[in-house]
Homo-oligomer: A and B are copies of this chain.
Amino acid sequence: MTLKNKTCEPCRGGVPPLTLDAAQAMLANVPAWVLNASGTRLSRRFEFTDFATAQAFAVKVGEASDTEGHHPVLSYSWGYCEVVFYTHKIGGLHENDFIMAAKVNALG
């Protein structure tokens, strides 16, 4: 099953976050996303030609994430929207973050 068709499983906390190596390996499945240096955050910046389109995209991502119960930080202004996934309960990345990144790529 491709990543974008998977469903986020409830994340209970207590499980370890993905290691940096594991996160880097999964990155190949989500083109254009980047990891921070410690491998604890997964982000992608989308560019737009105005404010309204950037906001509409944020809302589309937000709705998809609310459906899965796994929410990014969405930051946008004129011409861009940045999406950052991170799993608070485990202080790093979970497969859920990559599933959501793949779903966002399918929206873009």
Q: Report A's interface with B, CB cutoff 8 A.
A: 51-52, 55, 58-59, 62, 65-66, 71-78
Contacts and interface: CB of A to CB of B under 8 A. Distances in A.
Given A74-B74, A74-B76, 15 more contacts: A52-B62, A52-B66, A55-B58, A55-B66, A55-B74, A58-B58, A58-B74, A59-B59, A62-B76, A71-B77, A71-B78, A73-B76, A73-B77, A74-B75, A74-B77
How many copies of this chain sit in the oligomeric assembly? 2
Nearest to A82: B75
Which of A58, A65, A77 has most chain B Cβ within 10 Å? Answer: A77
25 contacts: A51-B62, A51-B65, A51-B66, A51-B71, A52-B62, A52-B66, A55-B58, A55-B59, A55-B62, A55-B66, A55-B74, A58-B58, A58-B74, A59-B59, A62-B76, A71-B77, A72-B77, A73-B75, A73-B76, A73-B77, A74-B74, A74-B75, A74-B76, A74-B77, A75-B75
